[in-house]
Structure 1
Amino acid sequence: MFWNLAVVRAIFGFIGSSLCFYEHFFDKILATNVAKATTVQSSILVSCLLGFFTFEVLAQILFDVMFKTFSKALHAHHFVSIMGFLITHYYNLGHYFPVWVFTLEFSTLFSCICFCLIKCKMADSLFWKINQIILVKVFHTRTFIEFTILYEIYYYWDVKSTMPFIWNLNLIFGLLLLGFFLTPYWTYRKTEQFFKKSDWNDTDKKQN
């Protein structure tokens, strides 16, 4: 089951984050008004991302029930994400920041490649080591992006203050959770994994 989840996450994470990267850095229409601007492309993206995180939440709950596991960090990440895209989809505004935030999911591709190579007994291969180094560096980049977005929230606060309170609360809380806890924790675990080549799900389950 986790193989299927890994493949879906890798494909969608790569395609979704690439489209968000293009929408944010090249289209730039959303930057004209970070609170209100939307495009046809960003509306489609937000709808697809809401669907993806709905799938993620339901799949993770099913996985935990079937295999008696529970990842507090992953559930916290999924809950904040699905709430963010649900609120954005409901109000149909403020696409700039959700699209910007989802570029962080580019790390999912390398994380899933890591998992698949471990399961294929290829953790000692040069390809796995290169992928793991890239993965750790991507998580460092995630931290930089997260604090950049927090700065932009502060910089555009006069504009963002017109947004619904629940939208602002979820965005700021989610970024603080990522920037100060989840991303540093995952960066540590991925760095540790470079030296201790094992799948988290197996080791965490044994500890439980």
Structure 2
Amino acid sequence: MDYSSWDIRLKVICLSFIFYTFIFILCHILSKLLFCTYRSLSAKEKVFWDLAATRAVFGIQSMVAGLRALMEDSAVFSDKILGQEDWSWFNVLSATGFFLFENVALHGSSAVFRSFDPSLAVHHFFALSGFVGAVVWDRLGHFLPMVTLLMEMSTPFTCISWMLLKVRRNSQEKMFFLENLISL
């Protein structure tokens, strides 16, 4: 694919945004059908649950890209200043689409739930800005953006941990309710 074309770049960014939006919606549908814990959550927690699953998917993609940049003998690793490859372009563009999705989700949910987390907003702003910078200044290499994606390595685990804590809390509440019901 010709990643020097702005048309291709914008298409990959948009497709990535759509892909992660699809993951978010698919998570909502499947969780609603399969998990009673999910059905018991508040609307705000349901959005966070769906975002957690979406972030976990991106975290896995990020792990693969970052580890590939570190471990594969490629132009990205060999020339850390100017090295680029098709796979690194794809990951830079799809990360840009993901961080665009994250910013839309953050500000959309902030508006809907009338809450705002300034530190998370700054974090998302810099993540998006960094990857947009890698797209705009297209002569620079992709080693740093690919290795930066390794910071997402813990994301799948923290997201799953949060989800399991919600399941545990829900099951503890049910046990407490059943114990009280039986003692009556």
Structure 1 ranges of 4+ moved more than 3 A? 122-125
Q: 1:40 aligns with which of 58, 66, 86?
A: 86
What's the counterpart of residue 137 of structure 2?
91
Distance 1:9 1:49 in 2: 11
Unaligned runs of 5+ in 1: 126-208
- Larger relative contact order (Cα-Cα within 8 Å, sequence gap ≥ 6): 2
Measured in 2, the distance between the counterparts of 1:55 and 1:27 equals: 32
Post-superposition shift, 1:23? Answer: 2.4
Larger gyration radius, structure 1 or structure 2: 2
Report percent identity of matched pairs.
30
* Aligned residue runs from structure 1 range 55-66, under 5 A: 55-66=101-112
Paired residues of 2:65 and 2:149 also in contact (CA < 8 A): no
- Alpha-carbon shift at residue 124 of structure 1 (Å): 9.9
Q: Is the 8 A contact 2:110 2:116 kept in 1?
A: yes
Query: C-alpha offsets along residues 125-168 of structure 1, whole Å, 9 cap, x if unaligned?
Result: 9xxxxxxxxxxxxxxxxxxxxxxxxxxxxxxxxxxxxxxxxxxx
Amino acid in the other structure paired with 1:119: K
Unaligned runs of 5+ in 2: 1-46, 173-184
Which residue identity is paired with 2:150? T
AA paired with 1:70?
A: F
1:104 CA drift (Å) = 0.7
Question: In the alignment, is residue 13 of structure 1 matched against residue 51 of structure 2?
Answer: no
| 1:117 matches 2:164 | yes
Deviates more, 1:99-108 or 1:15-24: 15-24
1:37–1:96 CA contact under 8 A, matched in 2: yes
- Equivalent pairs counted in the alignment come to 125
How far apart, CA to CA, are the structure 2 residues paired with 1:123 and 1:27?
48
CA shift in 2, pair 1:117/1:87, >3 Å: same
Tell me what 2:147 maps to. Answer: 100
CA RMSD of aligned residues (A): 2.0
Report the CA distance between 1:123 and its aligned residue. 9.2
